[in-house]
Amino acid sequence: MDFKETKLGFTLGDANGIGMETMLRAFSTPYLFNHCTPVLYGSSAVFTHYCKMLDLPDLRYNLITDTKDCVEGQINLKEVGDKSIQIKPGEASPETGALALDALTSAVEDIKSGQIHNLVTLPIDKNTIQSDTFDFAGHTDFLAKTFEVDSYMMILTSDDLKVGVVTGHIPITEVAKSLSQQLIEEKIQVLSDSLKFDFGLRKPKIAVLGLNPHSGDNGLIGKEENEIITPAINTFLEQGQLVYGPYAADGFFGTKAYEQFDAVLAMYHDQGLIPFKQISFHNGVNYTAGLPIVRTSPDHGTAYDIAGKGTADITSLVSAIFEAKKIYLNRLESNELNKSPLAYKTHRREKFSIGVPNLK
**Same domain, yes or no, for 133 and 155?**
no
**Same domain, yes or no, for 328 and 299?**
yes
Count Cβ neighbours within 10 Å for each residue of 21-38 and write b for 16 or more, e otherwise.
Answer: bbbbbbbbeeebeebbbb
Q: How far apart are CA 192 and CA 243, in angstroms?
A: 9
In this prediction, residue 339 carries a pLDDT of 73
**Dihedral (C-alpha) 192, 196, 202, 206: value to the nearest 10 degrees?**
-30
Q: How many CB atoms lie within 10 A of CB 52?
A: 10
245-284 per-position pLDDT tens digit: 999 999 999 999 999 999 999 999 999 999 999 999 889 9
Q: In sequence order, what DSSP letters do the residues of 152-164 get, joined into one string?
A: -EEEEE-SS-EEE
Q: Check whether 95 has a pLDDT greater than 80.
A: yes
Q: How far apart are CA 40 and CA 230, in angstroms?
A: 45
Strands 285-289 and 344-349: unpaired
**Same domain, yes or no, for 272 and 257?**
yes
Number of domains in the chain: 2
**Same domain, yes or no, for 105 and 243?**
no
**Same domain, yes or no, for 144 and 157?**
no
| CA 68 from centroid of its chain's CA atoms | 27
Structural domain boundaries enclosing 175: 150-287
**Same domain, yes or no, for 259 and 312?**
no
Q: CATH number, domain at 42?
A: 3.40.718.10
151-197 per-position pLDDT tens digit: 999 999 999 999 999 998 999 999 999 999 999 999 999 999 999 99
Averaged pLDDT score across all residues of the chain: 91
Q: How far apart are CA 231 and CA 235, in angstroms?
A: 6
Decide: pTM greater than 0.75. yes
pLDDT grade, residue 348 (50/70/90)? very low
Kindly state the greatest CA–CA separation across the chain. 69
**Same domain, yes or no, for 154 and 262?**
yes
Mean pLDDT to the nearest integer, 225-231: 97
Q: Check whether 103 has a pLDDT greater than 80.
A: yes
pLDDT grade, residue 347 (50/70/90)? very low
- Asked if 67 contacts 79 with a C-beta cutoff of 8 angstroms, the reply is no
**Same domain, yes or no, for 40 and 104?**
yes
Q: Check whether 345 has a pLDDT greater than 60.
A: no
**Same domain, yes or no, for 262 and 297?**
no
pLDDT grade, residue 360 (50/70/90)? very low
**Same domain, yes or no, for 253 and 328?**
no
In this prediction, residue 4 carries a pLDDT of 64
Q: How many CB atoms lie within 10 A of CB 63?
A: 12
